[in-house]
């Protein structure tokens, strides 16, 4: 009986890896839209255009804590497949809002005065679309992450399956910038009209994907999910290793985004050869994450605890060395360290949760908000200190917490070990 179950999860596992690709793809292209949207819609926004532009990313990250609980409820009520189908249809709705923002600007533009400047109504509609698509991605991850952790595929470990999914996700984030720059805008200056057909095409693709998923056999892992209407005995936040795991995800996503984004500014501030190679540093950082996840996909014997311990300690050393030597090239190695942290933290945080696993997965989505806060705090410190150089102390401090979680915080207390029913 057990062998049959193991074989039955291989197909669904592949489906989840494919869906994780789309999670990475849409997360990345949403970020990549910032500069083109600034050019296309914010020409009259004056001195606030850069601040307003960041609302595209902020709205996306806000969706994680807002929709994480919805994902958990849907899993209990509709199962994994029903939740994924609804999430994909929700994504189509978000893409439709994107399309509406384009049509509004093209055929009936309305500017909203904001002091001496103005921002098109279409931009705020676009922000709403970003929030909705971000919500859809959040709900998808409430299914994908615990499934990758708990499904039994012969010859793999939980963190290895997460790394395989992460590799798919990283490939998508590599493709995303190219898709926005060339497939949508053709390498030219961005215009609103360029967005009309791509959004329609993406709506069709996701609608088809939703139909395909609805026809697949995607079993719900009963031992990791509460039954519909079942009253649970305790709050998911009472599991200490999970609550600390949410904090770990917060700091991890925060430092991942902060290093990948701000290494460019740090390099340009230092000037010289560093400034000339700034863009290359960012590409190599994200490339290091892809390489690390690819390597992690073939590692089944190294426990998640060990992976997180080694990589967080190495990241601390690299960050301190980068500050001491004033050398941003060392931050590229941090990308390699970050590559396996998400799957390691996730696996450790939901370990031994039993039927609380889906709720735990939803709680972990709240931590993704760190991607919108830590880079913002680092930027604020830069304004205060007048330089990026010592702001990396903040990032190193976040890595110290991740090391603490790996060494101490991830261990479930005896009362936090749930038996699978």
- In terms of residues, how long is the chain? 421
Give the up-direction half-sphere exposure of residue 248: CA atoms within 13 A in the CB hemisphere.
31
Report pLDDT for 230: 64
Please indicate, yes or no, whether residues 195 and 343 belong to a single structural domain of this protein.
no
* CA distances in angstroms from 252 to 68, 242, 318, 359, listed in the order given: 18, 15, 16, 20
Residue 166's pLDDT is what? 85
d(CA 15, CA 8): 12
Rg value, the chain, Cα:
21
Element (H, E) at 252: helix 240-270
Residue 224 sits in the same domain as residue 305: no
Domain boundary among 229, 253, 273: 229
- Give residue-wise pLDDT tens across range 384-401: 888 889 999 999 999 999
Q: Summarize pLDDT for 47-86 with one digit per residue, the tens.
A: 777 677 778 888 888 898 899 889 888 988 888 899 999 9
Q: Among 9-13, 86-90, 138-142, name the one with the lowest average pLDDT.
A: 9-13
| 41 three-state secondary structure | helix
pLDDT above 50 for 100: yes
The better pLDDT of the pair 40, 405 is held by 405
CATH code, domain carrying 387 = 1.20.1250.20
3-state secondary structure of 121: helix
What pLDDT was estimated at residue 321? 96
Q: Based on the domain organization, do 69 and 133 belong to the same domain?
A: yes
In this predicted structure, what is the pLDDT of residue 419? 55
Percent of the chain with pLDDT over 70: 92
Q: For 43-53, write each residue's pLDDT tens digit.
A: 787 777 767 77
Q: Are residues 35 and 112 in the same domain?
A: yes
Domain with 364, as residue range(s), is 232-421
What is the H or E stretch that residue 111 is in? Answer: strand 111-114
Residues 163 and 267 reside in one and the same domain: no
Picking from 197, 229, 261, the residue at the C-terminal end of a domain is: 229
What six digits make up the tokens of 193?
């009209």
**pLDDT number for residue 3:** 44
- Identify whether residues 118 and 191 lie together within a single domain: yes
The region of weakest confidence among 12-21, 50-59, 360-369 is 50-59
* pLDDT confidence band for 139 (50 / 70 / 90): very high
Residue 172's pLDDT is what?
86
Q: What is the pLDDT of residues 286-328, one digit of tens each?
A: 888 888 888 888 877 889 999 999 999 999 999 999 999 999 9
Which domain-ending residue is among 229, 262, 296?
Answer: 229
Do 173 and 222 belong together in one domain? yes
Residue with tokens 């996909």: 297
Indicate whether 211 and 292 sit together in one domain. Answer: no
Return the pLDDT at 227: 62
pLDDT of residue 421: 40
Cβ proximity of 267 and 328 under 8 Å: yes
- State yes or no: pLDDT of 163 exceeds 90: no
Please give the backbone phi and psi of residue 293, each rounded to the nearest 5 degrees, phi first.
Answer: -70, -35
Instruction: Say how many domains are in the chain.
Output: 2
Query: 36 pLDDT exceeds 80?
Result: no
133 compared with 69, residue with greater pLDDT:
133
Q: What is the 3-state secondary structure (H, E, C) of 262-280?
A: HHHHHHHHHCHHHHHCHHH
CA distance 380 to 360: 32
Structure-model confidence comparison of residues 50 and 187, the more confident one? 50
The pLDDT score that the predictor gives to residue 4 is 42
119 phi and psi angles, rounded to 5 deg: -130, 130
Give me the DSSP letters along 387-404: SSGGGHHHHHHHHHHHHH
Is residue 292 domain-shared with residue 407, that is, in the same domain?
A: yes
- H helices, E strands: number in the chain: 17, 2
Query: Which is more confident, 6 or 151?
Result: 151
Q: What is the pLDDT of the chain when averaged over all its residues?
A: 86
**How confident is the model over 236-276, as pLDDT tens digits?**
899 999 999 999 999 999 999 889 878 888 888 899 999 88
Tell me which of 3-7, 134-138, 178-182, 361-365 is least confident. 3-7
Nearest to 282 by CA among 256, 261, 258, 255: 261
Q: What's the rounded Cα separation, in Å, for the pair 265 and 263?
A: 6
Are residues 330 and 384 both part of a single domain?
yes
The band of 96, judged by pLDDT with boundaries at 50, 70 and 90, is very high
Same domain, 225 and 249: no
Is the whole-model pTM more than 0.85?
A: no
Higher pLDDT pick, 114 / 125:
125
How is residue 13 written in tokens? Answer: 């596992």
Q: Are 103 and 252 part of one and the same domain?
A: no
CA-wise closest residue to 65 among 366, 354, 355, 385:
366
């Amino acid at each position: 009986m057990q062998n049959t179950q193991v074989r039955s999860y291989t197909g669904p596992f592949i489906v989840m890896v494919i869906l994780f690709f789309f999670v990475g793809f849409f997360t990345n292209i949403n970020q990549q839209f910032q500069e083109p949207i600034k050019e296309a819609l914010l020409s009259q926004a004056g001195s606030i255009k850069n601040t307003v532009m960041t609302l595209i990313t902020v709205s996306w990250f806000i969706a994680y804590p807002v929709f994480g609980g919805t994902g958990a409820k849907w899993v209990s009520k509709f199962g994994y497949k029903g939740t994924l189908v609804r999430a994909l249809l929700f994504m189509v709705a978000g893409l439709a809002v994107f399309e509406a923002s384009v049509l509004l600007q093209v055929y009936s533009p309305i500017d909203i005065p904001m002091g001496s400047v103005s921002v098109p109504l279409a931009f705020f509609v676009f922000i709403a679309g970003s929030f909705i698509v971000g919500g859809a991605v959040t709900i998808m991850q409430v299914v994908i992450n615990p499934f990758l952790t708990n499904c039994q595929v012969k010859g793999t470990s939980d963190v290895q399956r997460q790394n395989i999914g992460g590799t798919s996700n990283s490939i998508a984030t590599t493709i995303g910038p190219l898709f926005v720059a060339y497939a949508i805008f053709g390498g030219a200056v961005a215009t609103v009209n360029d967005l009309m057909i791509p959004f329609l095409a993406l709506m069709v693709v996701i609608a088809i994907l939703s139909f395909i998923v609805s026809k697949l056999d995607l079993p719900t892992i009963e031992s990791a999910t509460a039954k519909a209407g079942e009253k649970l005995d305790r709050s998911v936040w009472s599991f200490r290793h999970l609550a600390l795991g949410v904090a770990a995800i917060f700091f991890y996503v925060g430092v991942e985004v902060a290093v990948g984004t701000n290494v460019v500014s740090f390099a340009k501030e230092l000037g010289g050869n560093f400034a000339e190679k700034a863009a290359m540093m960012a590409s190599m950082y994200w490339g290091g994450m892809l390489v690390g996840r690819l390597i992690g996909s073939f590692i089944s014997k190294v426990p998640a605890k060990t992976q997180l311990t080694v990589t967080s300690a190495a990241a601390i050393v690299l960050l301190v060395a980068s500050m001491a030597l004033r050398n941003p090239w060392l931050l590229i190695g941090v990308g390699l360290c970050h590559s396996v942290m998400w799957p390691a933290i996730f696996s450790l945080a939901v370990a031994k949760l039993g039927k609380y696993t889906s709720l735990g997965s939803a709680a972990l989505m709240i931590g993704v908000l760190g991607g919108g806060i830590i880079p913002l705090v680092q930027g604020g410190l830069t304004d205060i200190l007048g330089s990026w150089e010592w702001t990396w102390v903040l990032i190193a401090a976040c890595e110290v917490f991740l090391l603490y979680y790996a060494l101490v915080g991830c261990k479930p207390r005896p009362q936090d070990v749930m038996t699978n029913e």
